[in-house]
Protein backbone atom coordinates (compact mmCIF):
# COMPACT_ATOMS: atom_id res chain seq x y z
CA UNK A 1 0.00 0.00 0.00
CA UNK A 2 1.14 3.53 -0.67
CA UNK A 3 0.58 6.45 1.72
CA UNK A 4 -2.96 7.15 0.48
CA UNK A 5 -4.09 3.57 1.00
CA UNK A 6 -2.35 3.29 4.36
CA UNK A 7 -3.86 6.55 5.58
CA UNK A 8 -7.44 5.74 4.58
CA UNK A 9 -7.19 2.17 5.87
CA UNK A 10 -5.91 3.46 9.21
CA UNK A 11 -8.78 5.92 9.45
CA UNK A 12 -11.30 3.23 8.58
CA UNK A 13 -9.96 0.91 11.28
CA UNK A 14 -10.28 3.75 13.80
CA UNK A 15 -13.81 4.57 12.66
CA UNK A 16 -12.74 8.08 11.64
CA UNK A 17 -13.39 10.19 8.56
CA UNK A 18 -10.63 11.58 6.35
CA UNK A 19 -9.93 15.21 5.53
CA UNK A 20 -8.46 16.15 2.16
CA UNK A 21 -7.40 19.71 1.36
CA UNK A 22 -6.74 21.15 -2.09
CA UNK A 23 -4.48 24.14 -2.71
CA UNK A 24 -2.92 25.51 -5.86
CA UNK A 25 0.79 24.82 -6.03
CA UNK A 26 2.81 28.03 -6.27
CA UNK A 27 0.06 30.22 -4.84
CA UNK A 28 1.40 32.68 -3.84
CA UNK A 29 4.76 30.93 -4.34
CA UNK A 30 6.27 27.48 -3.93
CA UNK A 31 7.96 28.33 -0.64
CA UNK A 32 4.52 29.13 0.79
CA UNK A 33 3.14 25.90 -0.67
CA UNK A 34 5.77 23.94 1.21
CA UNK A 35 5.08 25.72 4.50
CA UNK A 36 1.31 25.40 4.09
CA UNK A 37 1.65 21.67 3.44
CA UNK A 38 3.68 21.17 6.61
CA UNK A 39 1.30 23.32 8.68
CA UNK A 40 -1.77 21.52 7.31
CA UNK A 41 -0.23 18.18 8.25
CA UNK A 42 -0.08 19.41 11.85
CA UNK A 43 -3.59 20.91 11.65
CA UNK A 44 -5.30 17.58 10.96
CA UNK A 45 -5.23 17.23 7.17
CA UNK A 46 -4.97 13.58 6.15
CA UNK A 47 -4.27 13.96 2.41
CA UNK A 48 -3.05 16.99 0.47
CA UNK A 49 -4.11 17.73 -3.11
CA UNK A 50 -1.76 20.03 -4.98
CA UNK A 51 -3.16 21.64 -8.09
CA UNK A 52 -0.49 21.89 -10.78
CA UNK A 53 -1.00 25.30 -12.45
CA UNK A 54 -2.41 25.12 -15.97
CA UNK A 55 -3.42 27.89 -18.37
CA UNK A 56 -6.82 26.38 -19.24
CA UNK A 57 -8.27 24.77 -16.07
CA UNK A 58 -11.69 23.82 -17.45
CA UNK A 59 -12.91 21.97 -14.33
CA UNK A 60 -12.18 24.87 -12.01
CA UNK A 61 -14.28 27.80 -10.88
CA UNK A 62 -13.03 31.36 -10.56
CA UNK A 63 -11.29 30.98 -7.18
CA UNK A 64 -9.14 28.07 -8.34
CA UNK A 65 -8.62 29.58 -11.80
CA UNK A 66 -7.11 32.65 -10.19
CA UNK A 67 -4.95 30.44 -7.97
CA UNK A 68 -3.68 28.66 -11.09
CA UNK A 69 -2.91 32.03 -12.65
CA UNK A 70 -0.98 33.13 -9.57
CA UNK A 71 0.87 29.82 -9.62
CA UNK A 72 1.87 30.29 -13.24
CA UNK A 73 3.00 33.84 -12.50
CA UNK A 74 5.15 32.62 -9.60
CA UNK A 75 6.90 30.13 -11.90
CA UNK A 76 5.33 26.91 -10.59
CA UNK A 77 6.19 24.61 -13.48
CA UNK A 78 5.58 20.84 -13.14
CA UNK A 79 9.29 20.12 -12.41
CA UNK A 80 9.33 22.82 -9.72
CA UNK A 81 6.11 21.45 -8.21
CA UNK A 82 7.75 18.02 -7.99
CA UNK A 83 10.81 19.59 -6.38
CA UNK A 84 8.49 21.17 -3.82
CA UNK A 85 6.92 17.78 -3.10
CA UNK A 86 10.42 16.37 -2.56
CA UNK A 87 11.12 19.22 -0.11
CA UNK A 88 7.89 18.47 1.78
CA UNK A 89 8.91 14.80 1.93
CA UNK A 90 12.02 15.69 3.92
CA UNK A 91 9.79 16.78 6.80
CA UNK A 92 6.42 15.08 6.33
CA UNK A 93 4.82 11.81 5.24
CA UNK A 94 1.43 13.38 4.45
CA UNK A 95 -0.03 11.64 1.37
CA UNK A 96 0.09 13.94 -1.67
CA UNK A 97 -2.12 13.82 -4.75
CA UNK A 98 -1.43 15.97 -7.80
CA UNK A 99 -4.57 17.49 -9.31
CA UNK A 100 -3.49 17.94 -12.90
CA UNK A 101 -4.59 18.28 -16.52
CA UNK A 102 -3.30 15.70 -18.97
CA UNK A 103 -1.66 18.18 -21.34
CA UNK A 104 1.00 18.89 -18.69
CA UNK A 105 1.78 15.18 -18.39
CA UNK A 106 1.74 14.63 -22.14
CA UNK A 107 4.21 17.46 -22.71
CA UNK A 108 6.76 15.82 -20.39
CA UNK A 109 5.97 12.28 -21.53
CA UNK A 110 3.67 9.88 -19.71
CA UNK A 111 6.27 7.39 -18.48
CA UNK A 112 8.77 10.07 -17.49
CA UNK A 113 6.24 12.21 -15.61
CA UNK A 114 4.88 9.28 -13.60
CA UNK A 115 8.39 8.08 -12.78
CA UNK A 116 9.50 11.56 -11.72
CA UNK A 117 6.35 12.05 -9.63
CA UNK A 118 6.92 8.78 -7.78
CA UNK A 119 10.57 9.63 -7.13
CA UNK A 120 9.59 13.05 -5.75
CA UNK A 121 7.21 11.46 -3.25
CA UNK A 122 3.84 11.90 -4.95
CA UNK A 123 1.32 9.21 -3.97
CA UNK A 124 -1.41 9.62 -6.57
CA UNK A 125 -2.66 11.57 -9.57
CA UNK A 126 -6.11 12.95 -10.26
CA UNK A 127 -6.04 13.75 -13.97
CA UNK A 128 -9.11 15.87 -14.61
CA UNK A 129 -9.47 15.29 -18.33
CA UNK A 130 -8.25 11.70 -18.79
CA UNK A 131 -11.21 9.27 -19.06
CA UNK A 132 -10.73 5.62 -18.03
CA UNK A 133 -11.40 4.48 -21.60
CA UNK A 134 -8.13 6.11 -22.65
CA UNK A 135 -6.12 5.20 -19.57
CA UNK A 136 -4.77 1.70 -20.19
CA UNK A 137 -1.10 2.70 -20.54
CA UNK A 138 -1.49 5.29 -17.80
CA UNK A 139 -2.90 2.78 -15.32
CA UNK A 140 -0.17 0.24 -16.05
CA UNK A 141 2.56 2.83 -15.47
CA UNK A 142 0.86 4.15 -12.33
CA UNK A 143 0.61 0.68 -10.82
CA UNK A 144 4.23 -0.08 -11.77
CA UNK A 145 5.37 3.05 -9.92
CA UNK A 146 3.14 2.50 -6.89
CA UNK A 147 0.87 5.49 -7.48
CA UNK A 148 -2.90 5.70 -7.03
CA UNK A 149 -4.92 6.65 -10.11
CA UNK A 150 -7.95 8.50 -8.81
CA UNK A 151 -11.07 8.93 -10.90
CA UNK A 152 -14.04 11.26 -10.62
CA UNK A 153 -17.72 10.32 -10.47
CA UNK A 154 -20.31 13.07 -10.98
CA UNK A 155 -24.02 13.37 -10.11
CA UNK A 156 -24.78 12.99 -13.81
CA UNK A 157 -22.73 9.79 -14.25
CA UNK A 158 -25.05 6.92 -15.37
CA UNK A 159 -24.87 3.92 -13.06
CA UNK A 160 -23.41 1.54 -15.65
CA UNK A 161 -20.60 4.00 -16.36
CA UNK A 162 -20.16 4.65 -12.63
CA UNK A 163 -19.57 0.92 -12.15
CA UNK A 164 -17.00 0.94 -14.96
CA UNK A 165 -15.15 3.96 -13.55
CA UNK A 166 -14.90 2.79 -9.95
CA UNK A 167 -13.58 -0.63 -10.98
CA UNK A 168 -10.71 1.11 -12.78
CA UNK A 169 -9.74 3.46 -9.96
CA UNK A 170 -7.35 3.04 -7.04
CA UNK A 171 -6.62 4.96 -3.84
CA UNK A 172 -10.10 6.41 -3.49
CA UNK A 173 -13.07 7.49 -5.59
CA UNK A 174 -13.65 11.23 -5.79
CA UNK A 175 -17.36 12.01 -5.90
CA UNK A 176 -18.11 15.45 -7.29
CA UNK A 177 -21.14 16.37 -5.20
CA UNK A 178 -22.53 18.98 -7.56
CA UNK A 179 -22.69 19.71 -11.27
CA UNK A 180 -20.36 22.28 -12.80
CA UNK A 181 -16.95 23.54 -11.75
CA UNK A 182 -15.20 23.87 -8.39
CA UNK A 183 -16.34 26.62 -6.05
CA UNK A 184 -17.86 27.45 -2.68
CA UNK A 185 -21.58 26.78 -2.19
CA UNK A 186 -24.14 27.73 0.44
CA UNK A 187 -25.72 24.27 0.67
CA UNK A 188 -24.67 20.64 0.47
CA UNK A 189 -26.35 18.54 -2.24
CA UNK A 190 -29.63 17.13 -0.90
CA UNK A 191 -29.16 13.74 -2.59
CA UNK A 192 -25.64 13.14 -1.26
CA UNK A 193 -26.48 10.09 0.87
CA UNK A 194 -28.27 8.34 -2.01
CA UNK A 195 -25.48 9.06 -4.47
CA UNK A 196 -22.74 7.83 -2.14
CA UNK A 197 -24.74 4.67 -1.42
CA UNK A 198 -25.07 4.06 -5.16
CA UNK A 199 -21.28 4.29 -5.57
CA UNK A 200 -20.67 2.02 -2.56
CA UNK A 201 -22.70 -0.70 -4.24
CA UNK A 202 -19.98 -0.99 -6.88
CA UNK A 203 -16.69 -0.56 -4.98
CA UNK A 204 -14.88 -1.14 -1.72
CA UNK A 205 -12.62 1.87 -2.28
CA UNK A 206 -13.08 4.80 0.11
CA UNK A 207 -15.32 7.55 -1.25
CA UNK A 208 -14.17 11.16 -0.91
CA UNK A 209 -16.73 13.89 -1.52
CA UNK A 210 -15.80 17.36 -2.71
CA UNK A 211 -16.79 20.45 -4.75
CA UNK A 212 -18.61 23.22 -2.94
CA UNK A 213 -17.82 22.42 0.71
CA UNK A 214 -16.80 25.63 2.43
CA UNK A 215 -17.72 25.66 6.14
CA UNK A 216 -17.14 23.39 9.16
CA UNK A 217 -20.89 22.75 9.31
CA UNK A 218 -21.01 21.61 5.68
CA UNK A 219 -17.89 19.49 6.14
CA UNK A 220 -19.43 17.76 9.17
CA UNK A 221 -22.64 17.04 7.28
CA UNK A 222 -20.78 15.55 4.32
CA UNK A 223 -18.61 13.45 6.63
CA UNK A 224 -21.73 11.67 7.87
CA UNK A 225 -22.00 9.94 4.49
CA UNK A 226 -18.51 10.05 2.98
CA UNK A 227 -15.28 8.30 3.96
CA UNK A 228 -13.40 11.56 3.39
CA UNK A 229 -14.26 15.20 2.82
CA UNK A 230 -12.45 17.37 0.26
CA UNK A 231 -12.26 21.14 0.72
CA UNK A 232 -10.58 23.24 -1.93
CA UNK A 233 -11.90 26.64 -2.97
CA UNK A 234 -12.67 27.75 0.59
CA UNK A 235 -9.04 27.14 1.59
CA UNK A 236 -7.70 28.65 -1.63
CA UNK A 237 -9.82 31.73 -0.90
CA UNK A 238 -8.18 32.07 2.52
CA UNK A 239 -4.78 31.99 0.81
CA UNK A 240 -5.91 34.56 -1.77
CA UNK A 241 -7.08 36.94 0.96
CA UNK A 242 -3.74 36.86 2.79
CA UNK A 243 -1.48 36.74 -0.26
CA UNK A 244 2.16 37.04 0.77
CA UNK A 245 1.47 38.44 4.24
CA UNK A 246 3.48 37.08 7.17
CA UNK A 247 0.38 35.57 8.80
CA UNK A 248 -0.69 33.58 5.72
CA UNK A 249 0.28 30.15 7.06
CA UNK A 250 -1.07 30.82 10.55
CA UNK A 251 -4.38 32.19 9.24
CA UNK A 252 -4.95 29.44 6.66
CA UNK A 253 -3.99 26.73 9.16
CA UNK A 254 -6.49 28.03 11.72
CA UNK A 255 -9.27 27.82 9.13
CA UNK A 256 -8.18 24.33 8.09
CA UNK A 257 -8.07 23.21 11.72
CA UNK A 258 -11.68 24.33 12.23
CA UNK A 259 -12.70 22.13 9.30
CA UNK A 260 -10.61 19.22 10.57
CA UNK A 261 -12.17 19.46 14.03
CA UNK A 262 -15.68 19.36 12.55
CA UNK A 263 -14.89 16.30 10.44
CA UNK A 264 -13.11 14.44 13.23
CA UNK A 265 -16.07 15.03 15.55
CA UNK A 266 -18.15 12.50 13.59
Is-catalytic flag, 46?
Answer: no
Overall domain count for the chain: 1
257 within a domain of the structure (yes/no): yes
As a whole number, mean pLDDT of residues 141-148 equals 98
Give the integer Cα–Cα distance in Å for 165 and 163.
Answer: 6
144 within a domain of the structure (yes/no): yes
Q: How far is CA 102 from the centre of its chain?
A: 16
168 within a domain of the structure (yes/no): yes
Catalytic residue among 5, 27, 60, 116: 60
Is-catalytic flag, 60?
Answer: yes
Q: Is the pTM of this model over 0.85?
A: yes
Sign of CA dihedral 219, 239, 174, 188: positive
Domain that holds residue 153: 3-261
176 within a domain of the structure (yes/no): yes
165 within a domain of the structure (yes/no): yes
pLDDT at 185 over 80: no
Each residue's pLDDT tens digit, 205-254: 999 999 889 999 999 999 999 999 999 999 999 999 998 899 999 999 99
Give pLDDT, residue 249.
Answer: 97
As a whole number, mean pLDDT of residues 193-208 equals 96
Give pLDDT, residue 197.
Answer: 96
52 within a domain of the structure (yes/no): yes
Q: How confident is the model at residue 264 (pLDDT cuts 50, 70, 90)?
A: very high
Give pLDDT, residue 183.
Answer: 45
266 within a domain of the structure (yes/no): no
Give pLDDT, residue 191.
Answer: 85
As a whole number, mean pLDDT of residues 169-180 equals 84
As a whole number, mean pLDDT of residues 158-167 equals 96
Catalytic residue among 41, 49, 116, 123: 49
As a whole number, mean pLDDT of residues 119-144 equals 97
Distance set, CA 216 to CA 196, 213, 234, 261 (Å):
20, 9, 11, 8
As a whole number, mean pLDDT of residues 139-164 equals 96
Which CATH number belongs to the domain containing residue 12 in this structure? 3.20.20.70
Q: How confident is the model at residue 180 (pLDDT cuts 50, 70, 90)?
A: very low
Amino acid sequence: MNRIEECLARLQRAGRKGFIVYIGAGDPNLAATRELALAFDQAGVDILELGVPFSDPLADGLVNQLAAQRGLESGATPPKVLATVAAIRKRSEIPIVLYIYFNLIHRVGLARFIRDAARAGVDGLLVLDLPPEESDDYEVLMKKNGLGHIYLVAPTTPEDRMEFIVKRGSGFIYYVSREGVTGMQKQVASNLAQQVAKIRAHTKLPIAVGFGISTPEQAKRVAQNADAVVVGSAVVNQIAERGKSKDLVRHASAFVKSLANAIKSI
